[in-house]
Amino acid sequence: MTIILVIIAFPFIWLVISSFKYEKDIISFPPKILADKYTFENYIKVWSTIPLLDYIKNTVIFSGGVVLTSVFFDSLAGYAFARMNFKGKSVFFYFVLLTMMIPFQVFMIPLFIEINKLGLLDTYAGLIIPKMTSAFGIFMMRSFFVTLPKDLEEAARVDGLNEFKIFLKIMLPLSKPTMLSLAIFTLMNSWNDLLYPLILTSSSKMRTLPAGLALFTGQNISFYGPVMAGTVISMLPLLIIYMFAQKYFVQSTAMSGMKE
């Protein structure tokens, strides 16, 4: 098991060490894991070779916007499916179920045309709006809300709260752990997404980290050092969050495998 731990960890350790090496040490053959001298040069250079600050800003706004809106809307819908009775509920439910089965890759071209026609291509709104809800999130929130006792909302109704306030003031606070898991899951997916932002952005000023790095590597494979530094910077935020919120990462994955 220790050998496997090394196999898993080695590429990361190697990446971090190499990102501090001089270009000549990176391309030396035979390769050495450790170099004689280290430098911050790559980390300084990467800011001037690619608009990394823009990439970071775009990724934060895109992921942040998606996480906030999607967790809220998914909770609303999940709550309605779990605890409310209304006409056509099962029809809506199958509708959501259906959308879960459709891969993004299949409808990306019309989506691109739609966003383009709405004049939202290359804007934050264009990136965020289509991702404001997800069938997976709705199902995840629903499976949490079904577990709550019925007395809860009845007591609140007697107290004269309307449906929205019951949801906001009583149900939502109770669902914090599930919401956090969903938030982490959504954050991870939007932070790492490549194809989606690649299609819906065209100027280099609007690119996210994965899209920016992918295009940069494609054009400049010779700049190993800055590419490595950029890769480290792009992975760091999620790794730091992972260190503090491991439980929620694992939970969000475990929940995706839950069957009802």
Interface characters, 106-145, with other proteins (x: CB under 8 A): xxxxxxxxx--------------xx-xx-x--x-------
Closest distance to other proteins from the beta carbon of 214 (Å): 5
Q: Which stretch binds other proteins (CB under 8 A): 41-49, 50-58, 174-182, 239-247?
A: 239-247
Residue 256 found at the interface with other proteins (CB under 8 A): yes
Q: Which residues does 221 contact at the CB level (< 8 Å), separation at least 6?
A: 227
Q: Which residues does 227 contact at the CB level (< 8 Å), separation at least 6?
A: 46, 213, 216, 217, 220, 221
For 36, phi then psi, to 5°, come to -75, -35
Residue 155 found at the interface with other proteins (CB under 8 A): no
Nearer to other proteins, 30 or 173 (CB): 30
Q: Give residue for tokens 């709006």.
A: 129
Closest distance to other proteins from the beta carbon of 44 (Å): 19
Nearer to other proteins, 44 or 97 (CB): 97
Residues within window 168-207 making contact with other proteins, judged by CB under 8 A: 188, 191-195, 199
Residues within window 82-101 making contact with other proteins, judged by CB under 8 A: 84-87, 89, 92, 95-96, 98-99, 101
Query: How many residues appear in the chain?
Result: 260
- Tell me which of 66, 77, 140, 179 binds other proteins, using CB under 8 A: 77
* Cα–Cα separations (whole angstroms), residue 191 to 28, 113, 183, 234: 33, 23, 12, 9
- Tell me which of 3, 5, 34, 53 binds other proteins, using CB under 8 A: 5
Coil, helix or strand for 215? helix
- Tell me which of 12, 38, 40, 94 binds other proteins, using CB under 8 A: 12
Q: Which stretch binds other proteins (CB under 8 A): 34-42, 48-56, 74-82, 174-182?
A: 74-82
Residue 94, burial from CB neighbour count under 10 angstroms (0-12, 13-18, 19+): exposed
Nearer to other proteins, 60 or 76 (CB): 76
Residues within window 38-57 making contact with other proteins, judged by CB under 8 A: none
157 C-beta neighbours (distance < 10 Å), count: 12
Q: How far apart are CA 206 and CA 238, in angstroms?
A: 21
- Show the DSSP H helices in 27-171 as ranges: 41-49, 52-83, 89-101, 104-117, 124-128, 135-145, 151-158, 163-165
**Residues near other proteins (CB under 8 A), total:** 88
Closest distance to other proteins from the beta carbon of 20 (Å): 15
